[in-house]
Structure 1
Amino acid sequence: MPDRSEVRIGEYGSALLRDSQLTPRDVNRLRALQAHGRLSLEQTPTGWRLKAGATVGLLVLDRIRLVMQPKFAIPGDRLMGWLAYALGAPAPLPVTSRHWATGPEGYADLVAAALLEQCQQLLREGLRRDYVSRQNLEPVLRGRLDVAAQTTLRYGQLDKLHVRTFDRETDIWDNRVLGTALQVACALTTSPDLARDLHTVADAFPNATPPEAALRALDRTRYTRLNARYRAAHTWARLLLRGGGVTDVLTDHGTAADGLLLAMPALWEAVVRRLVTDAAGDHGGHAVAGGGAAGITVRGDLGIVSAFRPDVLLSLPDRDPTVRTLLPVDAKYKRYDHHGVSAADVHQLLTYSAGYTPSDDRRAVIVHPRTGGHSYRVLQVDSPRGRLGDVHVLGIDTHTHPQQATAWLGSVLPLTNG
């Protein structure tokens, strides 16, 4: 790997880059990320001004290593814990003793360590084997004779037989995708110890497949009792293979870059979905679908039909045990611990409350990240004709463990249900 200078910027921070620091290929990759809203790139008389948005992680360009550090709500030493919570995967052991700034890899280093730990555990338990079909040329009959190949390729010779065999091998997709992810992780880290361990473990897995094929295989994977123990390793592998962008929780399609980027708003939405679902479960509640026939739709305008969907729609028991009520919850990755809720978000939450809650008790919930303790306040929205609704604003302290935040949310959630 060629030596690259390191550029560090914080979340929502900016940096000035010289023309010599970016190649035309780098500019194209950064423009692609800009099109997805991950950062902005502006040309200046002497070079480029790069400004990060709510995206953190590592981007390996031709001449620089760009490290975007979290500075808003989730500190670096807690980021992996919250990410693991959102993904439902175990956090890597080094998280308890490492911080974002301990090396140039930062977040990518910790994700690589998480993958390494899970792969080492799989090796200790023994890699999964499954029947694999092979076509071989053998001196004796083993398996099933391939009559067509034998007659067309051997012309009646019987010293070698074309056979089809089914043997139990480790060369299956469950293992091959991990070999690919381990190789990608090696390219992202400059830590000698971590790189050595990744290379050692990668050698124990079957031959790697191209990242695109590995991602397609991961998207097709369905977990049963036979491969359930692979779920955590595949979670970290999927995150690494997505590279320089974010789909589902973490990656945008169409962005090709060497790196590992995390969109913090997408992470926060995933965190909130799990937080409120876990907290509601302690009170007899559960999440329900907010789309389809149950969604809020807008018709009659120019273009396609649009829809309003809260991040989470909870079904909760009412005072009357035979009745259940709906509570819309929306995740906002904003500094609502430092300034008031925007008018646009108030309008959005009032729309949710009008669509899902009783006319005599309109309410909805905003969950935002903060530091310095949890917070809870209620916005009363009134009109000349009376109360339009209440917006409950919950601030989650991201310096705490996710489980502690879940417990606090469970104590506050009944207050938001009338």
Structure 2
Amino acid sequence: MPDPTPVQLGEYESTTLEPGQLTSRDVDRLHALQARGRLTLTRERTGWRLKADATVGVLALDRVRVVISPKFAIPGEQLMSWLAYALGTPVPAAARRWATGPDGYADLVAAALLEECERLLREGLRRDYVRGRSVEPVLRGRLDVAAQATRRFGQLDQLHVRTFDREADNWDNRVLGSALKAALTLTSDPGLARALHSAADAFPQAPTPTAALRALDRTHYTRLNVRYRPAHTWARLLLRGGGVTDLLTDQGTTADGLLLAMPPLWEAVVRRLGTEAVGPHGGHAVPGGSGAGITVYGDLGSTSAFRPDLLLSLPGVPGRDTAHRTLLPVDAKYKRYDRHGVSAADVHQLLTYGSGYASADAPTAVIVHPQPGSHAQRTLKARGPKGLLGIIRVLGVNTRTTPEQATAWIGSVLR
């Protein structure tokens, strides 16, 4: 079977595919992705029009291999650093370079998983005591007297024994074996494929990828398995098909690729940036966004509620009122607000957040958007016939810097 034809495009870009390049199974998978807002597939007179939304990664179809590279906000050489930051996991050595080969981003995630799995193999895999039964030529463990009497009828050439041995066949290791196997289908680099295959042979595997995902969702980390957390983070990303949140449902639909939705990634980045930025100055994030959030009653249908991506509690002004704390709503926007003005819908949304959470005398809310090249800030003021309605601070984070540098800048601005 010939290798799939590579198709290269950037986020928000589109390309034309010939009618024979997509099978009916491919069309079903692309429509499932379209329902999740990852891309758009349109039938045209000469074939198909495939348009990527705010998505990067690789999608392995039957006859084509779609590679979507970052074009908008986060440069390729920085994407892995920001992804690791959003996931709260150490930056892998694979993030030191941006692979320009046919698999790009997917190769880097597979290499990150491989790096963590090889570290676990060097340290020694976690082993648990497992009860088992077997037939041995010599006594090992305890003799199963009942089985020996009823199955061997007193013969001693083979012994039925009960064992209690330490084995690596546990769920912490099974999910990594399944993830390594999934990574094999995403890379065409021979060297990386050989290393992944070698590592996969050293790990047990779950019965299905869905079973591995369920095990990951049930995992609780203790001193016995906390060293598995980084590897599990990359495994979850691969098994779910990419993204900070689920890409497709686990009900029979598989991604067969690694696609990262950039808006959820940016929201995760902003939540961590804001929390870490205000921490040294006495601020902290409000867990759960301060209860039920802003709730709308009386409309048709059920009651609706919405809340900002991040709600910060800030201390009072030093030297004046340190006991009084203020709430600052922060919203992440994966938009080009370095090139055009804030939309009316976002202005209305942020004014509502400011009115609902911030102080009445100066209702303030913050927008944080990605801006390659340099940090930037500006302040919007909304006024009505009766005076000030609200203040919106628009912060552009330079995604060409490291997350640590961006955290320091936001801390200086919000302070």
The one-character-per-residue Cα deviations of 1:176-220 (angstroms, maximum 9, x if unpaired) are 111111111111100011111111111222245421111111111
Q: Helix, strand or coil for the counterpart of 1:335?
A: coil
Q: Shift of the alpha carbon at 1:32?
A: 0.5
**1:251 matches 2:247:** yes
Give the match for residue 133 of structure 1. 131
Matched with 2:18 is 18
**Shift of residue 150 of structure 1?**
6.8
Equivalent residues of 1:177, 1:209 under 8 A apart? no
| Structure-1 separation of matches of 2:338 and 2:389 | 24
The residue that corresponds to 2:325 in the other structure is 324
**Residue 94 of structure 1, CA deviation:** 3.0
Aligned residue in 1 for 2:259: 261
Q: Do 1:250 and 1:267's aligned partners in 2 also have CA atoms closer than 8 Å?
A: no
Contact 2:140/2:163, CA 8 A, preserved across alignment: no
For the Cα contact (< 8 Å) 1:132–1:172, is it kept in 2? no
Amino acid at match of 1:342: S
Paired with 2:41 and 2:379, the residues of 1 have a C-alpha distance of 39
Please give the residue correspondences for 1:10-409 in structure 2 after superposition, counting only pairs within 5 Å.
10-96=10-96, 98-100=97-99, 102-138=100-136, 140=139, 142-143=141-142, 145=144, 154=151, 159=156, 163-243=161-241, 246=243, 248-249=244-245, 251-254=247-250, 255-291=253-289, 293-319=291-317, 320-409=321-410
TM-score by structure 1 length?
0.93
Unmatched 5+ stretches in structure 1: none
CA distance in 1, matches of 2:78, 2:143: 56
**RMSD in angstroms over aligned alpha carbons?**
2.0
Which residue identity is paired with 1:263?
A: A
Identical positions, percent? 65
- SS for the counterpart of 1:359 is coil
SS in 1 for 2:281: coil
Aligned-pair CA distance for 1:227: 0.5
> Could you tell me how far apart the structure 2 residues matched to 1:268 and 1:294 are?
23
Give the Cα–Cα distance (whole angstroms) in 1 for the partners of residues 402 and 289 of structure 2.
Answer: 31
Report the Cα offset of residue 91 of structure 1: 2.1
Query: Contact 2:289–2:310 at 8 Å: present in 1 too?
Result: no
* Contact 1:143 1:166 survives alignment (8 Å): no
CA distance in 1, matches of 2:145, 2:33: 51
Residues 6 and 249 of structure 1: CA distance in aligned 2, closer, same or farther (over 3 Å): same
State whether residues 82 and 269 of structure 2, in contact with CA within 8 Å, keep that contact through their aligned partners in structure 1: yes
Counterpart residue identity of residue 382, structure 1: R
Change (3 A) 1:307 1:157: farther
Q: Is the 8 A contact 2:110 2:183 kept in 1?
A: yes
Question: 1:69: Cα distance to partner?
Answer: 0.9
Alpha-carbon separation, structure 2, partners of 1:261 and 1:279: 29
More deviation in 324-333 or 131-140?
Answer: 131-140
- Conserved in 2, the CA contact under 8 Å of 1:250 and 1:262? no
CA distance in 1, matches of 2:304, 2:55: 27
Q: 1:304 to 1:347 in 2, by over 3 A?
A: same
Q: What does the per-residue CA deviation read over 1:287-329, in whole Å, with 9 as the maximum and x for residues that have no partner?
A: 1134573411112222222111111111111122212111110
Name stretches of at least 5 consecutive residues in structure 2 with no aligned partner. none
Contact 2:43 2:49 in 1 (8 A): yes
2:133/2:160 contact within 8 Å kept? yes
The 2-side partners of 1:192 and 1:39 are apart by: 29
User: In structure 2, the residue corresponding to 1:366 is in which secondary structure?
Assistant: strand
Q: For residue 27 of structure 2, what is the amino acid of its counterpart?
A: V
Structure-1 separation of matches of 2:140 and 2:98:
59
- The secondary structure found in structure 1 opposite 2:185 is helix
Deviations 1:205-256 (A, max 9, x none): 224542111111111111011111100000001101112x64x546342542
Partner AA of 1:79 in structure 2: L
Which whole-Å CA distance do the structure 1 matches of 2:336 and 2:303 have between them?
A: 32
Change (3 A) 1:122 1:2: farther
Distance 1:275 1:250, change over 3 A: farther
Deviation at 1:64, TM superposition (A): 0.5
Partners of 2:412 and 2:378 lie apart in 1 by 14
Change (3 A) 1:163 1:296: farther
- Report the Cα distance in structure 2 between the residues aligned to 1:180 and 1:219, rounded to whole angstroms: 15
Task: Tell me the residue number matched to 2:5.
Answer: 5
